[in-house]
Structure 1
Amino acid sequence: MRINRIKLVTEMARQGITQLQLAEQSGLSRTTISGVQNGRSCSNVTAIKIADTLKVPIESLLEN
């Protein structure tokens, strides 16, 4: 699954959340969050954890 990095960075900025905070709150590593932010694909579980932590629908973060 590929999260749109611009959408992710924009949502994180809107919420004022850092990579480290997102990692800690989602239970993922900072390396994983960094990779997703840099355009790497991720598992469905990882994408869902990120969306759930940000409290946004998964569809709002995915590539079109």
Structure 2
Amino acid sequence: MVEVNLPRHILDRAERRWAQKLEAQTRIWKLAERSHHSVTDQGVPVVRRRERRKLTKEVA
């Protein structure tokens, strides 16, 4: 990683924002696990369609 000499208050603000984004994503994923639905990291629900049953021909 590249060493950056930024003031501590700027680094703290960036780290706090990053941590809040991760926590929000974690909350969304945990809610999705509980409800058995899929959700993207932005909170958009994903609908998965089941495969259709294959029709079989009956021999007369």
- For normalisation by structure 1, the TM-score amounts to 0.27
- For normalisation by structure 2, the TM-score amounts to 0.29
Higher share of residues assigned strand = 2
